[in-house]
A and B are shown apart, each in its own frame.
Chain A
Amino acid sequence: MPAIEAKKLSFTYAGTEKPSMEDINFSVEKGEFVILTGPSGCGKTTLCRCLNALIPNFYSGELTGELIVDGINVDGRSTAELATHVGFVFQNPENQLFSLSVERDVAFGLENLGVPKEEAIERVRWAMEATGILDLRNKAPYELSGGQQQRAAIAGVLAMRPSVLVLDEPTSFLDPKSAEEIVEIIAKLNHELQLTTLLVEHRLDVVSRYANRVIVMDNGKIALDGPPREVYNDQARLIGIGLPKVTMLFHLLRIDGFGVTNPITVEEAAADLRRLLAQ
């Protein structure tokens, strides 16, 4: 059974004529790390908000098609119901921290779910350890850096033990170093816990190395879907997404007539170049 399955999923925001997302069909297996990307307005934000029913519960409009997450048909479900199946991490760390201490913030979801105190404390400790913030447990969220706040948000979602993790541009407000750190943690959680991960991102240079699959959306539809090395092709370039610079470099070398590969990380590119120059 796939972790996420979408069939002919479409959504039109109330008051608009054109669907923001049209005829979306895809399925994601358990444990996959999927990047969802595309130019502004392509529908990626719309799509990820369907996964935990924020659409249509928070946004009025017409939603058609079928979406099954963790074996549950999201139709008619509330977001609160789905919280133990789909964890959602938002872009702005400021607006997803609710308490005056990190520990209580991470426990927030569990408290809402009525999880018994002893079990909650243990799950909170586990989640904070998994995200590397155990030493920050007594600090107030406003005392933390952006990167630490996002880690606390991930821990808070993780504590509810969802089987799918959706993150909507979590690195937007972070500096490059914090962005890399947070993506490493997300990848670690995906790998160690087999936590199906859907990451909406523009910064493909940072995240590509961890993903096994990239879905590119354009104009409300899925344009490309496959492993990063396959998807980062001429069509992707035309759609206008920010491919890793080393990928761009090799594209330029290809134009110059050198039959080269399609690396997505610096290490791959360096190895490929050495090989080419040694032949």
Chain B
Amino acid sequence: MSLRFVEGFKFTRMDSPIHRLDPRSKFILTLGFFVTSLMFTNIIVLLVIFLAQVPGIILAKSPSRWLRSLRGGLFLFVFIFVMNLIFGTPIVTSLAFAIRFLAIMSAFSFFFMTTSADDLGLALEQIHVPYSISFTFTTAVRLVPTMAVDAQTVVDAQRSRGLELDKGNFMKRIRNYIPILIPLIISAIRRSVELAEALESRAFGATEKRTAIVTLRMRVADYLVILATFVGVGLALYVYFKVPLPNLVIPIQIPRLF
């Protein structure tokens, strides 16, 4: 379950109009979805916001991966729904909150699925985030799959020495993870030292004014996306203040538990 959730945030290289967009315009779009989702508690509007992402997903040629990430978020969806019910929120509103979570999660998933870590780093650099921060970010992202392989190897190696991770009481199981964590941490430290040596050997930090051979350029499509986002948010604001929304009520009384 948990792995499918993460998959929805993993970048895959693909040639689609969305993948080709500048990360900055995509992020503004994602923020647009985020902000409008937060504004409303009405289930119909939230559903509209959620479904408004679908054309984008299809343009990005990633419908199946998006669905898989939604399935990963199912647990939290149900959790939010149930917790709200337990604390006395009406059914429809509880559902609305759960859908809001899904809309926000899906918007960010959409962003990360279509933006490479490198481009993200470039975008951060170009909006003048200090290089050390953007580099740390891209390196961390780059190292995640490497460390995942390391983790699997450590698990394999220790299982080959008779370690059984699925046996024993709760305390024993926790202790069984020590032979996994320690080699992982040591490997990570060794790797970091090697990386640091290699970085220094490539003059990392030699000058304050770093150049970049690739620069991101905003194109017409990017400006259109930004424009569309502002229009969307403007529309949402209008609806929020001026339009009376139909209230769906399901007349079932859930007994208050608290």
Contact = CB atoms under 8 A, between A and B. Distances in A.
Interface in A86-108: 87-88, 90, 92, 94-96, 98-101, 103-104, 107-108
B203 A80 contact: yes
Interface in A29-64: 52, 54, 57-58
A80 B204 contact: yes
A92 B214 CA distance: 27
A79 interface: yes
Contact of A157 (B193, B201, B212): B201
Contact of A83 (B116, B196, B202): B202
Interface in A106-162: 107-117, 120-121, 124, 140, 142, 156-157, 160
Contacts of A230: none
A81 interface: yes
A88 to B, nearest CB: 4
B201 A114 contact: no
A113 B203 contact: yes
A54 B146 CA distance: 25
A100 B201 contact: no
B187 to A, nearest CB: 11
A81 to B, nearest CB: 7
A233 interface: no
Contacts of A98: 139, 142, 198-199, 202
B145 A58 contact: no
B127 interface: no
Given A90-B197, A101-B118, A109-B203, A124 B213 contact: yes
B200 A115 contact: no
Interface in B185-236: 191, 193-207, 209-214
B180 interface: no
A120 B205 contact: no
Interface residues of B, number: 31
B117 A100 contact: yes
Contacts of A112: 202-207, 210
Contacts of A95: 191, 194-195, 198
Interface string B117-154: 11000000000000000000011001001100000000
Contact of A120 (B13, B138, B145, B211): B211
B210 A111 contact: yes
B202 A58 contact: no
A115 B212 CA distance: 9
Contacts of B199: 98
A156 B213 contact: no
A99 B118 contact: yes
Contacts of A87: 201
A83 B145 contact: no
A160 B200 contact: no
Contacts of B211: 110-111, 114-117, 120
B212 A80 contact: no
B150 to A, nearest CB: 10
A95 to B, nearest CB: 4
A171 interface: no
A12 interface: no
B146 A94 contact: yes
Contacts of A156: 202
A100 B116 CA distance: 9
Given A111-B213, A113-B207, A115-B211, A80 B200 contact: yes
Contacts of B145: 142
Interface of B: 13, 116-118, 138-139, 142, 145-146, 191, 193-207, 209-214
Given A95-B194, A112-B206, 4 more contacts: A88-B197, A98-B198, A112-B202, A114-B211
21 contacts: A54-B197, A80-B206, A87-B201, A90-B198, A90-B201, A94-B146, A98-B142, A98-B202, A100-B138, A104-B118, A109-B202, A109-B203, A112-B207, A112-B210, A113-B203, A113-B206, A124-B213, A140-B13, A142-B145, A157-B202, A160-B203
